[in-house]
Amino acid sequence: MTIDRTSLRWNGWGPAAQPDALPKESPAWQWIADALGINTPLPETPATPLEKCTLPASGLDGETRLELERIVGANQVHTGDYERAFHARGKSYHDLLHVRAGNLSNAPDAVVYPRSEDETQRLVEFAAARDIVLVPFGGGSSVVGGVTGREQGEKRLCITVDTTLMTSLLSIDETAMTATAQAGIYGPALDKALASQGVRLGHYPQSFEYSTLGGWVAARGAGQNSIRYGRADKWLVSAHVATPSGLWRTEATPGSAAAPNLNQMVAGSEGTLGIITEATFKVHSLPEAEDYRGYLFRSFAEGADAIRRIVQSEIPTAMLRLSDADETFFFRTLGGIGKEHGLKDNLAEAYLRLRGYADRPCALIVGFEGSAANVSHARDRVARIMSACGGLHVGRSPGTSWKAGRFHGPMVRDPMMDHGLGVDTLETSTFWSNIQTLHSAVREAIDTSIRETLDDPSARGIVMAHISHAYPDGASLYFTFVFPRRLDRGLEGEVAQWLTIKRAASDAIAAHNGTISHHHGVGTDHAPWLGQEKGPVGMQMLGAVKQSLDPKGVMNPGKVLGDGIGN
């Protein structure tokens, strides 16, 4: 199953025909304005329609086009405005500032859709021989500048290679519990195909509906249920990668001491070494039972301690997600605006006040999946730890609601940007002993830098965070922040505002022992901080691998090992 590109928003998230998650008439807009300290009505800032955008002329010459068509077929080479605009950038806030303003200067010269591993390898070898830049592209959901077409200053011909016609589930080994699929298959299609055989991968990132298997591996991604099913680098068994030096087939064994496992070079390579054409991955039987429920904590520290104890006790959970007080308040209030509160709601509020959980509590969602017996046993053990740490059980309704809308978060961003607001995310991870310090430092850095970019002293941002993935030794922190955009200075001013916030947050992460990215990847946005994390020897090694496989630097140049943000 493929997705028709014209059915999607080329300058936003999701289907082009979807209704706004926050319609203009929603009373939520006034509450958001008040929360941001905005004393005037929110402005209308619609995106520039494609017909009013000017794309740079394609540099694809007739001879090169004929060669490409010989490799992939005439119908798979595109130079039209829509295809080039759709593939100009990814889906980060930074990307959307540009495309919504009509700046498509990064559009590739052409978009090519290979249909097989053989076509992809021939395409890569042709590009390397002709010194043509290739940008691998799956769902295009990168939020770190990982799929930008022509990078600033790049003079070579630039072609985006879209893998989404390579969508087959190739095989399932029911004995070893592994499966192999082509890299361009989207999340829902892969999930459906596996489910028909009674298994699942269990990788459910927020971008699940509009991201691909190859993209998950390339970005070293983590799904919302990674505690049970693992991150991409854990569930990846082997991969095929089309490189300028030939087709690279990584080793496929359950364990080996034959030098470093090269699958770990593929996971997180972000298209800089080659194009992933297929992947073999671990699968699991479909769970007999699923149980998602909610708890409230009086503080973020208490909730984090509960997660730590659960994970270190090796209790089999699928997910543990703890929102801090600001995130809990924001989404709880936003979700309740415009709804009538009845007797049941009033009684619930009174109960929470009586128990001491009404004053800015922190919400935790816990999920269990597996056999009915294992789920029941794990649920009971978790309940005891939650209670010991000060958690209040609030039933299954919060878990059911979260799961029903767990992929919908990005859909709120477009209407917010239509009303002069900025909204962005970033994530990191650190050890349990450092969670509180890092949480406070990054929150403060984001909040302070937002205020520094605004002229109105009463205006401010909303900064929220949650723990989204947990390990015995630490956890991730995922930050979301909403702020008034600097509309008075045009695109250049808005980008400068974002850079100020992004750099402050990233500096705080690096200074307080966090990784520059837990699961979004490096792209261009995080490249300036990678050297500090990897060290000079590590960067030398990564550069040597890149030089060995891609001596001309045609594979996704500027990403990971490039100069970084600003383009």
Cα–chain-centroid distance for residue 208?
9
Angle at 318 between CA 317 and CA 323, to 5 degrees: 95
Per DSSP bridges, beta strands 158-162 and 133-137 are parallel
Supply the DSSP string of 466-518, one letter for each residue. EE--B-SSEEEEEEEEEEE--GGGHHHHHHHHHHHHHHHHHHHHHHTT--S-S
Look up residue 103 and give its two tokens: 């700046």
Length of the chain: 567
Distance (Å, rounded) from C-alpha 106 to C-alpha 567?
9
Q: Angle of helix 117-130 relative to helix 62-72, nearest 10 degrees? A: 160
Give SS3 for 107: coil
Is 357 a residue of the active site? no
Distance (Å, rounded) from C-alpha 179 to C-alpha 177?
7
Choose the catalytic residue: 113, 204, 229, 478. Answer: 478
Give SS3 for 67: helix
Distance (Å, rounded) from C-alpha 201 to C-alpha 194?
8
CB count, 10 Å around CB of 448?
Answer: 14
CA dihedral 333, 508, 234, 535 (to 10 degrees): 170
Distance (Å, rounded) from C-alpha 100 to C-alpha 10?
10
- Catalytic residue numbers read 478
